[in-house]
Amino acid sequence: MLYSLYLSLFDYNPMVPIKEFVGLNNYIKILSDPEFANAAYFSLFFTGIGVGIEFMFGLGIALLLGTRPRGISIFKVLILLPMMVSEIVVGVTFMLMYQPGMGVIDYLLSLIGIRNLLWLSDPNLARWAVLIADIWNWTPFMALVLLAGLESLPTAPYEAALIDGATKFKTFIYITLPLLKPVITVALLIRLIFSLRTFGLIVGLTAGGPGIATRNLSYYIFMEALRFWNIGYASAASWIFIIIVMLLGIYLTKLLMEKEME
């Protein structure tokens, strides 16, 4: 990391044996680069919406499994399966499923009269295509973490609420959620970090396309470093990326902890 910080102050291409010191010029160029702005926007869109939906679905699944239905062990194994698949495999699989005229998603949509959507050719649809694949891949993580949190909650507050005649909704709002906040904070923080640095899914599904529509910050840095060999420039972008992740992580933790103190 220190070496990358050092390189970020140079115009450095490993194919050329000369490093030219440019100071903060790389950082200035990045902040005025429209492609970096697009990558930052897509990263925040992908993370904000994706993690939010994964949390809601995961919490719903955790609450259902928290009722301990018959065969809960089988359900846990089935829910865990998407997490066992690597991102690049998920990307390639969904890429085939999205194919117009032959993909299973196109077929299922045709049953309700929607045909030949260009999932991977239309910039707006491509963003949602990546999002859907990520939600399928990572909702199980949220569900299992939150389920573990639910199973560790003390029973005394629930017994008191039952005696006081509290409804299930009020019990959930005033007991379950406050007690679960530390677990929620950890789950959201981990997913925030992993979502922002998503790479394999995008490589397998869209390769950052169409154009640069689904190029996030990780892919942007990869292209600059290992396609264009702008190592100094990519190093500077990496440090800006680290700062963004740290600020978002600190903000999220502070927000949730402040609400818990209230």
User: Poorest-confidence range of 17-21, 29-33, 125-129, 223-227?
Assistant: 17-21
Measured between its terminal Cα atoms, the distance across the chain in Å is 38
Reference 66, options 151, 130, 160; nearest CA is: 151
Structural fold of domain 2-16+33-261:
MetI-like fold (1.10.3720)
With a threshold of 0.75, does the pTM exceed it? yes
* Cα 5 from Cα 240, distance rounded (Å): 11
Residue 260 banded pLDDT, cuts 50, 70, 90: low
Task: State the average pLDDT over residues 163-188.
Answer: 88
Is the pLDDT reported for residue 259 higher than 70?
A: no
Q: Specify the amino acid at residue 51.
A: V
Rounded to an integer, the average pLDDT of 61-85 is 82
Per-residue pLDDT tens over the stretch 89-114: 999 999 999 988 888 988 888 888 88
